[in-house]
Chain A
Amino acid sequence: MRKWLYILCLLCLPLLSRAEAGEDFAVADVIFEHIGDAYEWHFWGEGDHAVALHLPIIVRSRTTGWHCFSSRRLAHGEEYAGFRLSPDSGKVVEMVEGQEVRPLDISITKNVLSLLMSSLLLAVLVLLAARWYRRHDSLEEAPSGLAGLLEPLVMMIHDMARENIGEDYKRYSPFLCTAFFFILLNNFLGIVPFFPGGANLTGNIAVTLVLALCTFLAVNLFGTKHYYREIFWPDVPAFLKPIMPVIEVFSALVKPISLTIRLFANMLAGHILILSLVCIIFIMYKFGPVLFGSMTFISVLFGLFMDLLECLVAFIQAYVFTMLSSIYIGLSREKGE
């Protein structure tokens, strides 16, 4: 009986709502706006009623040098100092002789701001936790508060480094910890739908590429003789000797690429799935109250499920990235028999 009452209430919801979404609701645009980068941080509202944080644009033109201005000046297709937002890519372009030329663009975009804030947050959290250990005698009392929260995670990564890397794991443990916490924090912030979360940072290929490149450097800059011998002169029959280095070098290059794509694709897919489920609500608006209400119910249910799943994925992906990094580093630290 009570269940039916709930469903009835849900069915009445659309009658009360004043949502303006309708026939011209473009799902793809909404999704790509959410997962993409932007020169402003959009909060709510559409068109002239939009409330957004306009971020600074920093560009260097080949002809006119450095420029720094608010993205408000480029809103609604306006032009400023020869720059405007390209209607195709949404990036800042300069009009030179009727051609769109991309200037050197190091603007503080939505992702960069999110990156700054999350990095600051992470630094503060870890330094506060470290301060606890500096101020207290860890032999006398158990860690509490922030230190107690972070310690198991830090030690999980530290132990993973010890198991996978071997004797000089202490050199790599800080990098693995930083990567893990960076990915984990940004994954979780990405799930939060409103400011200061909501930026799709770990679902951005530039971010994951830099992370994977760091792993690549950690693997290949400190490789042992044995590791390089395995790549360029492995113990294989003579006719394989010329082929093996090609394969091994290719495999060494593919490793960071696979790390990049795995994290990027997983987080992006999660975001797209949740956004799609939410978009169902707005698409169904024009199909009448009954369908709208029931589909809202279903999409909220599935959205909740996906959100919980994403919480799991956020941790798993951070863990997998760190574990694979530590395994790759461990392979490069092998001394041979």
Chain B
Amino acid sequence: MNLVTPDGGLLFWMTLIFLLLFFILAKFGFPIITEMVEKRNRHIDESLRLAREAQTRMNDLEKEQAALLEKTRTEQTQILREAARTRENIIAQAKSEARDEAAKLLEKAKIEIAAEKESALRDIRKEVALLSVDIAERVMREKLASDEEQSRYIGRLVDEFTARNQTN
């Protein structure tokens, strides 16, 4: 049958032309296209990988930033709290010191006042004693102006002494 017997002439031409076509396309055609596309594919893969890495790095950075912010905030509150506490402490200490100082001053003042009072009292007593001796002298002098009086007085004094000695 004509259809299933390969024709020699066509076989010859087909072999020649197909091999020629194959060598031309295998040298100047397909490898250039496939190489370029593979290069591009590699480039795309690489770019995607880089983008992914950048994304994760950015996420990390964001997380880090958030953590840092959080830490700063807690530190800030802590510092503020500490400052407040320190302030209160200082005030309290100052108050207590002031109180102590005041108490000490008061104590000292009291002691001084007491000493002053003592010395004043001593002075007054001394003065009063001198004054009373003086007055007694003056009274005695007035009373013992006459001889009669003097003798009466001496008598009385002697009585008194004897009375006292008798009771002892």
- Interface segment among B19-27, B49-57, B92-100, B124-132: the answer is B19-27
- Interface segment among B36-44, B64-72, B112-120, B156-164: the answer is B36-44
B153 interfacial contact with A, CB 8 Å: no
Interface digits, A143-180 against B, CB 8 Å rule (1 contact, 0 not)?
Answer: 00001001100110010000000000010011101100
A129 interfacial contact with B, CB 8 Å: yes
Q: How far is the CA of A130 from the CA of B33 in the complex (A)?
A: 6
Interface digits, B1-43 against A, CB 8 Å rule (1 contact, 0 not)?
Answer: 0111111111111110111111011101111111011011001
Pick from A106, A112, A154: contact of B33, CB below 8 A.
Answer: A154
A268 interfacial contact with B, CB 8 Å: yes
- On chain B, the residues within 8 Å of A170 by CB distance are 31, 34
* Closest chain A residue, CB of each to CB of B12: A106
The range of chain A's interface size is: 35 or more
Evaluate contact between A154 and B34: CB separation under 8 angstroms: yes
Evaluate contact between A154 and B40: CB separation under 8 angstroms: no
**Least distance between B86 CB and chain A CB atoms (Å):** 64
- On chain B, the residues within 8 Å of A177 by CB distance are 25, 29-30, 34
Given contacts A36-B3, A106-B13, A139-B39, contact A210 B30 (CB under 8 A): no
Q: How far is the CA of A42 from the CA of B84 in the complex (A)?
A: 108
- On chain B, the residues within 8 Å of A32 by CB distance are 2
Evaluate contact between A112 and B10: CB separation under 8 angstroms: yes
Pick from B10, B19, B20: contact of A206, CB below 8 A.
Answer: B10
Evaluate contact between B18 and A214: CB separation under 8 angstroms: yes
Evaluate contact between B36 and A126: CB separation under 8 angstroms: no
Name B's A-contacting residues (CB within 8 A): 2-15, 17-22, 24-26, 28-34, 36-37, 39-40, 43
